[in-house]
Structure 1
């Protein structure tokens, strides 16, 4: 509903006004409007924590680190131990995953704050100093994938997929925009 209302607003005279959710509309119950009132709250203020740099964005951004490390430690490391000629899973030492363990500990145990400097302890992912917040940007994500230890695990480095063309032209009518959204939702909703 919000996306449709935002599209409608972009083609109307109210395009520069903020949008509100009215939770006690006398006819519709809950409605999206451009008029502020006692039973409304501004949508932009509610979605800010989810946007880039917002608190939820930061947590969702780094939340995969503990689960990714746990998958390695609990499921894959025991399987790779015999393949790598190691007696136990604890004998498998790969710097990349050791570095992820340090970052994981700060995400889980220190609320995303680095308590000890990792640059001197890490072998591959030398990103954070003491006191910094664990925040992963595009460059760090790219490095995570580039530095993945394929060769140490006995695999070939996979070739990156060919980029798919994206139609970035905007429709001139709301109908054309809706048809574009159906054909290419990632271009409009950041997927």
Structure 2
């Protein structure tokens, strides 16, 4: 995939298909360690050890709509090409954590892509999911939680057009603040 944002969409979709009601999406950029970490943790069905071992095989999928599952194998390949790794921790009945680590400065590391649009899409497409988004760049941190948003909004749904416009601007501005106020869609 050309952008890591597309991998993020796929990882969160996997969580939702596993029945997750709570998803934590973390992006951690650590210049000192020269790492970019994408971590998705959920409270879905989880996987047993055999399934966890096999999910990076492109010919293994739990989906009934197609016979191959390329999401995890592609991100696994992508991390390895960039001096990193993919780690999957899962417990049946408790959930799964997928962690993709890249060497941040690696020449072949795909750009993050438009994270603001990605997070906005996840929020409005899954208004009943408790989504926690946390992005850190060294010591700067931005956190957004849909539970807090829905409490503040009261009766106004996350899918309301005014909320969508505000959400886009709010996420983009806070993402820019992580990089010193500069719009940074393709880090």
**TM-score by structure 2 length?**
0.25
Which structure has the highest helix share of the two?
A: 1
Structure with larger RCO (C-alpha < 8 A, sep 6+): 2
Q: Whose Rg is larger? A: 1
Which structure has the highest strand share of the two?
A: 2
